[in-house]
Amino acid sequence: MVFAETLLPELVAEALARNPEIRAAEARWRMFEHKVLPSRSLNDPQLTIAFSNYPVDSFNADDTPMTGNDVKIAQKFPYPGKLGLKGEVAETEAEWYRAAYEETRLKVRFGLKDVYYRLFQQDKAIAIVEKNLRLLDDTIRLAETRYEVGQGLQQDVLKAQVERSKLMDSLFTLRQGREEALAALNAILDRPAGSSQSGLPEAGLTPFDFTLAGLQEQAEESRPMFAAYRSLLERFEAKEKLARLDYKPDLTVFAGYRFRDDGLADGGTDFASAGVTINLPIFGEKRSEAVAEARAGSRMARRQLEDFRGKVAANLHSAFARKERSRDQAMLYKTGLVPQASQAFQASMSAYQVGKVDFLNVLNSLLGLYRYEIDYFRAVAEYQRSLARIEYEAGLNRARIQQSYQNNDPKER
């Protein structure tokens, strides 16, 4: 079986490198990452320079003993533990955005694969319609020849022409669908809107042997948003601890020096001073509200995590069921219906040429083959798109899937 692995990894790598949403998410993560160190640091010390107690009638430095020039430096020290908790709050916030960045990369990878297989399906359907148009043209010419020699009916020719018009209508719709898929691909890759993409390589059914229960366990470990919600919970827990510590006073230590004029009566002896300032956390209501806010945030984070876990499980179950169905359908079309329909068409065409079956039988055989070929590639594309959805929901990547397949060594399905 041939897999479309030559072009797809290149497109995925291009998307991860160029996609604007990924680059914005990374910049946002880096922005919050740079907040961690400042949040753990002391505030800058304060330097005060003052000209104190100058008499307003003369502004002389040697008129009164109180006059002097002051230099004062002060440093605030938060209550022990506050800085560490502030750093923890900032670190868990940065962790949320780091996980969001990883989630964005995962989402873009899924979006790229999804649109890739949509485009693949459109290409295959267009090729099948164009092939069937050529076959139908051959059939129409044969019907016209038989009608001209009196061995066929005019209504056969008219019926075939109607079916040809229907195929042309389908071809127009498919080409429009391809343009829409191509526009979505270019947007993900940050390419100019009018960029073209040649026909995609052949694709088959990528082997996949994870169980649904195993995928749900894997999602808890690998899906970035699970880590994001856990970091959100840790952030509110740290904020609650910090809010409780806010009941404790902070300490500001200061030291000062006054330079006095030598011409003063006492000789202008300089003065030195030092002291401590402590804030009085007497307004408990606002602090209790901060604690309550953090507790409510923790409850919110837990509920969001539970909700996300439920949605992931539901999405995995749905994608897994679609994968199983489309895999079985693709195998049925490939090994049964398409070969049988092809044989039926060839047999009916041969029989029609010698007058053993009517034209309607030939036309029905051709249209049946066309539908089964279309349905086969639809099922293959649906399988691969379901696989991409599973990868996204479980936080997997294609390399891990292929490694699992090699380790288990199952037979090709």
259: phi then psi, degrees, rounded to nearest 5 = -90, 120
Instruction: State the Cα–Cα distance between residues 20 and 190, nearest whole angstrom.
Output: 7
- What does each C-alpha distance from 64 to 145, 240, 256, 264 come to in angstroms? 128, 54, 20, 7
List the chain residues with pLDDT less than 70.
Answer: 1-6, 144, 146-153, 156, 199, 354, 397-413
H/E segment holding residue 327: helix 284-332
Instruction: State the Cα–Cα distance between residues 242 and 236, nearest whole angstrom.
Output: 10
- What does each C-alpha distance from 190 to 60, 108, 186, 193, 389 come to in angstroms? 72, 12, 6, 8, 22
Comparing CA positions, the residue from 376, 335, 393 lying closest to residue 210 is: 393
Q: Identify residue 123 by its one-letter amino acid code.
A: D
Sequence-distant (6+) residues with CB within 8 A of 122 are 174, 177, 178, 181
Q: Identify residue 254 by its one-letter amino acid code.
A: F
Q: Identify residue 223 by its one-letter amino acid code.
A: R
pTM of structure:
0.83
pLDDT confidence of residue 1: 31
Comparing CA positions, the residue from 43, 326, 77, 111 lying closest to residue 205 is: 326
The secondary structure of residue 335, as a DSSP letter, is: I
Angle between helix 359-394 and helix 82-148 axes, rounded to 10 deg: 170
154: phi then psi, degrees, rounded to nearest 5 = -65, -35
b/e string for 72-91 if b means 16 or more Cβ within 10 A?
Answer: bebebebeeebbbbbbbbbb
Q: What is the pLDDT of residues 190-215, one digit of tens each?
A: 888 878 777 677 778 888 888 888 99
Comparing CA positions, the residue from 361, 331, 330 lying closest to residue 346 is: 361
Residue 150, phi-psi category: left (phi > 0), alpha (psi -120 to 50), beta (remainder): left
List beta partners, residue 106: none
| Number of residues in the chain | 413
Evaluated on CA atoms 156, 336, 375, 122, the torsion sign reads negative
